Structure formats: structure tokens, C-alpha cells
A and B are shown apart, each in its own frame.
Chain A
Amino acid sequence: MVRRTRLEVLNDMLVAIQKAGNSIKPTHLMYKANLSHKLLNIYLSDLISRQMVIEVMVDKTHKNIELTDRGREFLVKFRQIKEFQDSFGL
């Protein structure tokens, strides 16, 4: 099992949100992205600070994570980086 890079984890999280229709519950995101609760919080704050996702309150106690345009741009950029990496064997 190869350890994922920070970028790969962020990509996995964004892909999970996109697959769930651009909005997902934090617990679902944790399972879909294969993360522990602690790591989810670390990476989620990273994504929020980069404005790739936003937290939206569904009701008084529950919130959802939603993908932003910047997040969608990152997904495209990540696919290109992966392609560049694979094409040049880097």
C-alpha cells in the first residue's frame, strides 16, 4: 500500500464531494476519502482556507461540505498534473 501525498488526499476528498453531487456530509466524506476523523479535520481546514470547499449549514446542528468553482478548477489541474507526471515518468 503506497502512502498518498497531501495533494492526492485533497484530490480524493474533492472527487468524493463531486461524486456525491457537489455536496456531502462530513462523516460520508471521511469514509469516502478513507480518512480518520483527525485527518479529515486537518485536510478539510486546508481545503476551506484554499476556498476549494465551503461549509453550508443544513439545519441548526448539521452541516454539509460543498464544492466551489476553485475546487472544480483544482480537480482539472490535478488531472493535468497526473497526466504530466505519467507522461514524463516523474
Chain B
Amino acid sequence: MHLTLDQVTYMGCAFEAIMALILLAISFYSYSVFKITREKNYKWFSASFMLMAISFIGRVIMEFVIYTAPLRSKVSDVVVLTLKYNSASDILWHYGLFSYRTLMLLGLMGIFIILTKSKEKKNWILLGYLAILTSVVSMQLLYVFDLTAAVILLLIFAQFAKNYMRRPSKRSLGVALAFLIIFFSHISFIFMTFDYSLFVAGKIIQLLGYLTLLAVYVGILLRR
């Protein structure tokens, strides 16, 4: 099967929208738990998932606006106007990608901080700074973002694996596996510059990871 760039983009948008919905659902649930228990880690857990959800929503909107802009296909009609719009698209693309990467990294780092129960505020500031720095650097070196995300995801997986050892259950295993799958998707994205089909594979793996997370969430809600 041969996919065009447009098909890949729309597939990516659809996948990202689904992933955003899954993250939103977990974020809202975690916040509802916070409202009942008043334990702050649920609030921060909710905020981290919300950041990740917003990063996907922003990316979907950005890609949708850029790829559905009618002037993009009218390059030969009005050259000046097209150039103007293309530069606007480029700005949107750069800011959009920067926001997506920063919010995603902040969300992942937030989850890592909650799981490691780090109370030191200086660590949070340092990690926040590193998230922004990574996003800035990855505007030039694409793989830096995916590499950093993969490292954090591996650390999160290690924490969830430890949790599974302590409380073995299908659901704690599901959560650990979900983050391991998402880790592999970012590994795939690192090498997409060599072969674009790795981007498609990465997107499918990423969706699989988030669907695993959804299965765990639905399982919890079905508990009676």
C-alpha cells in the first residue's frame, strides 16, 4: 500500500484526535478523584495528562489549518499571495510544533515527577527549563525531541513496572505496557528522517499505546 503525504497527514490528525480524547478522559477522571480525595497528586496527574491532551489538540488544529488552506494548492495562480500565505503557514508550523513539543515534554515530565514523588520545587523548574530547551533545539535537530521523550517514557515505564511488581494486576501491567509501547513509537520517530514509513509505523504504535491506556481506564470504570 502506498500512502500520499496528505493521506499520512490526515491519518496522523485522526490518530492524534483520538489520543487527545483518551488523555482528556483520564485527566478529567483524575481531577474528579482529586475533588473527592483532596490529594494533590491527583490534581497534578490530571494537569500532566491535560498538557499532553492540549499538545495533541494544538497539533491537530495546526496541521488541519495548514493542510486545508486552499492557497497551498494554488501556487501557480498568484505567486506573491502564495508566498505570503506560505510564510504564514511556516510561522504557524514552527510555533505549533514548538508548543506541541513543549507541552508534551512538560506533561511527560509532570507524570515522572508525580511517580517519583519528588517534592523539591527546584527539580521541577530545572525539568521545565529542559523541556523548553529541548523544544528549541529540536526546531533544528528533529530527533532531539523524540529522543528526550523516549528517555522520559522509558523512565516512566520503569516506575510503572516497579508499581506492577508491587501490586501485580492486569491493569497495572496494562499501564506499564502502554508507556512502553509509546516509548517504542518515539524510537520509531527518531529514525523517520531515514525512512518516512517509520513515521506511519510510529503513529500506529503510538495509537496502540494510547488505546492500551484507554482499555485500562475503561476497565477501571467498569469496576463494580
Contact = CB atoms under 8 A, between A and B. Distances in A.
B220 A84 contact: yes
Interface size class of A (residues with CB under 8 A): 10 to 19
Given A79-B224, A90-B42, A90-B45, A84 B33 contact: yes
Main secondary structure, interface of A, reads helix
Interface size class of B (residues with CB under 8 A): 20 to 34
Contact of A86 (B42, B45, B171): B171
Nearest to A81: B33
B169 A89 contact: no
Contacts of B172: 86-89
A87 B36 contact: no
A83 interface: yes
Contacts of A76: 223-224
Contacts of A83: 171, 219-220, 223
Nearest to A74: B36
A89 B33 contact: no
Contacts of B166: 89
B165 to A, nearest CB: 10
Given A79-B223, A79-B224, A87 B37 contact: no
Interface of A: 5, 7, 76-77, 79-81, 83-90
27 contacts: A5-B37, A7-B37, A76-B223, A76-B224, A77-B36, A79-B223, A81-B33, A83-B220, A83-B223, A84-B29, A84-B30, A86-B167, A86-B169, A86-B171, A87-B169, A87-B172, A87-B174, A87-B216, A87-B220, A88-B163, A89-B162, A89-B163, A89-B167, A89-B175, A90-B41, A90-B42, A90-B114
